[in-house]
Amino acid sequence: SYSEVAQLERQGCGAEDWASVLVAEKFNARRVRNCEFHGRVRLGVFTGRINTGTSYLPTGVFSTDLSNVTVGNNSLVTRNSHVANCVVGENVCIIGCGELACTGSTTFGQGQELPIAIEV
């Protein structure tokens, strides 16, 4: 909506085309700051906190350029220079990774459970 775009701009965000930035129905613009959006960007709902392994931080998207990215509900994407051509699932942390980009076709096993055993 116009009010969400205005709030995002006040919070240091910009977009090549705001019509290409899609948000979830209960999107909270307060949880997205200092970002640039390029291409089709989809943002989920950010209401909770997420365990980073060392602390609990608010979910949202902060200080990151996004290009053709979907960010799922209650994920944290912060202090990355550029995230491109990715689907970030729900409850995911991407913190300080520099550039994270997918090019071409991918075949890695996102979301797969791996059977791990301790060998003795």
Cα-Cα end-to-end distance for the chain: 58
For the structural domain made of 2-101, what CATH number should be given?
2.160.10
- Domain spans of the chain, in order of start: 2-101
Query: Exposed e or buried b for every residue in 20-43, given b needs 16+ CB within 10 A?
Result: ebebeeebbbebbbebebbeebbb
Query: Are 81 and 65 a contacting pair, CB within 8 Å?
Result: yes
pLDDT (tens digit, 0 to 9) for every residue of the chain, 120 residues total?
A: 899 999 999 999 999 999 999 999 999 999 999 999 999 999 999 999 999 989 999 999 999 999 999 999 999 999 999 999 999 999 999 999 999 998 877 665 555 665 666 666
